[in-house]
Amino acid sequence: MRLKYVENGYEILEACQQIVTIRKASAEEVWSNLPTHQDLHLELGTGMGDFLFGMAEQYPNRFFVGFERDTKVLIRVAKKTEEFECMNYQFVHMDAGNALPHFPDHQIQGIYLNFSDPWPKNSHAKRRLTHHNFLREYQRLLALGGVLEMKTDNLGLFEYSLKQFQREEWILQRVERDLHQTELAEKNVETEYERKFRAKGQPIYFLRACPK
C-alpha cells in the first residue's frame, strides 16, 4: 500500500517527543540521546510500529528503540504515539546501519527483525539484514544472554538466514516454520504485515538465536 504525501510531515516528526530525527541527533549521537540504556531492545524496520508499541506495553521494564527510515510511515507512527500511554520506547528516523556502529559493545538485550526486505536478487545479498556482515555487528552489540528474533513470511529469506547464522556459529534456540501453531503464539506480538499474512493462511517463519 502506497502512503499518501502528508503536508508538513517533517514538522510532525520534529514535534513528536518519541521520535529522534536527524535534526535532533546525528547518527553518532543517537546512543547518547536515548533516555535509558538499561534492558535495551532494538527493532530494525518498525513499519507502522504495531510490534514496538505492543512490546513496550507487554514489557514495561524494558526500553525499546525502533529504527525506521521511511518518512511517510513514521508520520503515521507519530500520530499513534498521541494515543499510546507507555513511554518506554523511542523511534529513530534513520537507517539503523548508520547509527548502530556508534553504539557501544554488548549493551543490547534483544534485536528484532520483523518481515525485513528479502532482497531476492543475489547481487543484493549484502543488503539482507541477516547477511553475515550484519550478524557480526549484532554479535558485537548483544550483551551476554542477549538474543535475536526474526519473523518472516518469506521461506527463501528464512532458509538463507539459517545458513548465515550457522556460518557465523550462532546458537539457534528456536526454529519454527509455523509460529502460530506453537505455544509461542500466546505471547507473540504481531506486526501489521503478520496479521495480513496470517489472514491469508500463510505460515510465519520464526527463529531465535544468540551468539556462541
Span 124-143, pLDDT tens digits: 999 999 999 999 999 999 99
Mean pLDDT of the chain, nearest integer: 94
Please indicate, yes or no, if residue 1 is contained in any of the structural domains. no
Backbone φ and ψ of 20, nearest 5°: -95, 120
pLDDT at position 9: 77
Please indicate, yes or no, if residue 4 is contained in any of the structural domains. no
Q: What is the CATH number of the domain that holds 88?
A: 3.40.50.150
Give the pLDDT band (50/70/90) at residue 10: confident
Please indicate, yes or no, if residue 29 is contained in any of the structural domains. yes
Catalytic residues: 117
pLDDT at position 8: 75
Q: Which amino acid is at 189?
A: V
Q: Which helix (H) or strand (E) holds 32?
A: helix 30-33
Tell me the per-residue pLDDT of 64-108, one tens digit each, with 9 for 90 and over. Answer: 999 999 999 999 999 999 999 999 999 999 999 999 999 999 999
Give the pLDDT band (50/70/90) at residue 111: very high
Please indicate, yes or no, if residue 102 is contained in any of the structural domains. yes
3-state secondary structure of 211: coil
Integer Cα distance of 129 and 148 in angstroms: 12
Q: Please give the residue that has the higher pLDDT: either 155 or 6.
A: 155
The total number of structural domains in the chain stands at 1
Q: Please give the residue that has the higher pLDDT: either 127 or 2.
A: 127
**Residue 132 lies in domain:** 9-210
Give the pLDDT band (50/70/90) at residue 45: very high
pLDDT at position 6: 58
Please indicate, yes or no, if residue 60 is contained in any of the structural domains. yes
Integer Cα distance of 30 and 86 in angstroms: 21
> Measuring CA to CA, how many Å separate 2 from each of 36, 70, 114?
35, 12, 19
